[in-house]
Structure 1
Amino acid sequence: MNIKDFREVAADYRVIFFDSYGVLRNHRGMIPGARETIESLRQAGKTIRVLTNNAARSQEGAARRLASLGLPGFAPEEIITSGMMARQYLEEKAPGGRAAYLGTEDAAEYIVQAKLQPISISDLDLDDIDDISAMVFLDDEGYDWNTDINKTINLLRKKSIPAIVANSDKLYPVAKNDVAVATGGLARVVESILGRRFIHFGKPDTQMFNYAFTSIQEEGDFLRRDVLMVGDTLHTDILGGNKFGIHTALVLSGNTPRNSALREIESTGVIPDHICSSIGHE
């Protein structure tokens, strides 16, 4: 396995798309050396975007979160979240009224932006659902897993409404060797129980890549060959970048451990153009 220095890889591209968790930050905070790398890229005139499947925060909230971890300087418009993609769908497809959600109150801001009235599933009366126009899976926090997941299932059994998954990640790392169930994993359990397919947003779907690619045209005349997608997860970041036709770099600082990276690449058939230990230093 040929592991390359990230800064040497990035030098060949004009635009860098970063995943957030596992690439810029992790359960301990900022990835060591990430700040210096971002500063170096900006000084070299690189255009940067963060593409995250985390729908728990708005663009402004995500920028503040990165700053609080020691990564200042990200403008909200440099951050593209899966929640933004879900908001676009709700704006076009939801007929108004209320949208029930699983997640935090902060994450429900995406529903407010879509001109719908958010109601937490925990506050919903299942005998008063006539004006519920959508069910949105936003985050894995902010509700009682013992009662509110059952309530979600019963809502979707009682009323035929679109179910939107704003974060398609099934797992996320919470320690060096441990993971937790993410929103996408929870949604897949509910899908299996109901025998339904929900509407999923986030990588590897091309919608986020299209949005990011369109946004960078405001800063220059870029081609796809100018862009590098950097991520820690094969089936979201790397697969999504490959499908969109841009080069990809897998970093071993998050979901894909060094000791199993080659095996996972061979077994999935998802092949990154580059492999790096991290964007910073170990």
Structure 2
Amino acid sequence: MIDTHPTSYKGVIPTPTWAFRQYERIRHWLPDGLPMDQRPNPQLLDNLLPLANQFQVYVFDAFGVLNAGPRAFPAAIQRFRELQRMGKHVQILSNAATASHAKLVEKYRRMGFDITPDQLISSRWLLEQSLANRAREGLWGVIAPENSEPDTLPLNWQPVRPPVTEQLKRKLDGYDGLIMLSSEDWNEEMQAVLEATLTERPRPLEIANPDLVAPRGDCLTLEPGFFAHRAREASGTLPQFYGKPYAPAFQAVIERFTDIPPGQILMVGDTLHTDILGGQNAGMKTLLVTAEGSLQGMDIPNCIAQSAIAPDFIAPEI
């Protein structure tokens, strides 16, 4: 299958350095970090193995930690299995929202990660839980490719997909709210009409995936969070975000293990502004992986100093 997530926008091709700067630019829209006197001094490790007996629950981000696009990391598959054999609780906490929950579980099982549905929390799942708990009135536009099965969303909806036509513009103007599941096939022209309709008539905008970028092997793709913040700046509409770094994503993990203190949970991720920031705010310990993912090739100590987000541990891979 050809990946159709955008890899550039208005001539800008995302790189790890560019993405880090973009996260810093929207830092005041993200959750607060730890006070200076509570920030850890990161311990450098070769991998997660020295921590295998230290925690009861291990929570893994997906892209950049377990896989890059369709490619799973062999070392991650091995470590995942080792922890399961040790009787540890293992979870995947992903901002993925294009695929339904069932399809995402199937995807990671095909890659070699032996998980069950209750070992995965995705931002798509978090959105669906919110929709089930609080009905959205009226007709909503859902930004998602056809293969994303948006019919799993419990609301009255219509698809919003390219190309831009006068009919699409009229439909956009009539929706009572908009949901963005995926940035697949999204482009500058579609972004312009989204910003125009929200400027003309502000309405709810709910974003399943808060990520600005995602590592997909040899490139970074632009994700819904990037386009949502552009829409916010253009229209003044404040999006509702699901997924990391926001509290509901991490609270969903904690609620699955009510008998385990958050300090006995290790959040493992590749992004300071989502995985590490969100995990720390939830009271979890954190491990930043650096060999692949959003900070690949960057000066990690400098990134920590600039962002004031410091993980408990740093390792190139798990």
TM-score range, shorter chain: 0.7 to 0.9
Tell me, yes or no, if structure 1 residue 231 matches structure 2 residue 259: no
- Give 2:287's match in structure 1, choosing from 217, 237, 249: 249
Q: Distance in 1 between matches of 2:263 and 2:188?
A: 47
Q: For residue 5 of structure 1, what is the aligned residue in structure 2?
A: 47
Any idea what SS the aligned residue of 2:109 has?
Answer: helix
| Aligned partners of 1:94 and 1:134 also within 8 Å | no
Tell me, yes or no, if structure 1 residue 172 matches structure 2 residue 214: yes
Q: For residue 249 of structure 2, what is the aligned residue in structure 1?
A: 208
Tell me, yes or no, if structure 1 residue 115 matches structure 2 residue 158: no
* CA drift at 1:91: 3.6
Q: For residue 49 of structure 1, what is the aligned residue in structure 2?
A: 91
Tell me, yes or no, if structure 1 residue 266 matches structure 2 residue 305: yes
Superposed CA RMSD in Å reads 2.3
With normalisation by structure 2, the TM-score equals 0.78
With normalisation by structure 1, the TM-score equals 0.87
Give the aligned residue type for 2:159. I
Q: Distance in 2 between matches of 1:125 and 1:2?
A: 52
- Give 2:65's match in structure 1, choosing from 15, 23, 27: 23
- Give 2:180's match in structure 1, choosing from 129, 137, 145: 137
Q: Distance in 2 between matches of 1:175 and 1:63?
A: 21
Is 42-51 or 122-131 further displaced after alignment?
Answer: 122-131
| Aligned partners of 1:173 and 1:255 also within 8 Å | yes
Q: Distance in 2 between matches of 1:181 and 1:88?
A: 25
Any idea what SS the aligned residue of 2:140 has?
Answer: strand
* CA drift at 1:262: 1.4
Q: Distance in 2 between matches of 1:28 and 1:165?
A: 23
Structure 1 pair 38–266 and aligned structure 2 pair: CA distance change class (3 A): same
* CA drift at 1:173: 1.9
Q: Which 5+ residue runs of structure 2 have no aligned equivalent?
A: 1-42
| Aligned partners of 1:112 and 1:118 also within 8 Å | no
- Give 2:236's match in structure 1, choosing from 181, 191, 195: 195
- Give 1:104's match in structure 2, choosing from 125, 145, 162: 145
* CA drift at 1:61: 1.1
Task: Give the total of aligned pairs.
Answer: 272
Q: Which 5+ residue runs of structure 1 have no aligned equivalent?
A: none
Structure 1 pair 127–7 and aligned structure 2 pair: CA distance change class (3 A): same
Any idea what SS the aligned residue of 1:96 has?
Answer: coil
| Aligned partners of 1:134 and 1:163 also within 8 Å | yes
* CA drift at 1:101: 1.9
* CA drift at 1:188: 1.2
Q: Distance in 2 between matches of 1:270 and 1:144?
A: 31
Listed one character per residue, the Cα deviations across residues 168-189 of structure 1 (whole Å, up to 9, x for unaligned) are: 111122345x422111111111
Q: Distance in 1 between matches of 2:306 and 2:149?
A: 38
Structure 1 pair 33–97 and aligned structure 2 pair: CA distance change class (3 A): same
| Aligned partners of 2:204 and 2:237 also within 8 Å | no
Q: Distance in 2 between matches of 1:246 and 1:258?
A: 26
Listed one character per residue, the Cα deviations across residues 79-123 of structure 1 (whole Å, up to 9, x for unaligned) are: 1111222223334555333321222234353x6332333422448
Q: For residue 194 of structure 2, what is the aligned residue in structure 1?
A: 152
Give the aligned residue type for 1:37. R
Q: For residue 66 of structure 1, what is the aligned residue in structure 2?
A: 108
Give the aligned residue type for 1:193. A
Any idea what SS the aligned residue of 1:35 has?
Answer: helix
Any idea what SS the aligned residue of 1:228 has?
Answer: strand
| Aligned partners of 1:170 and 1:182 also within 8 Å | yes
Give the aligned residue type for 1:222. I
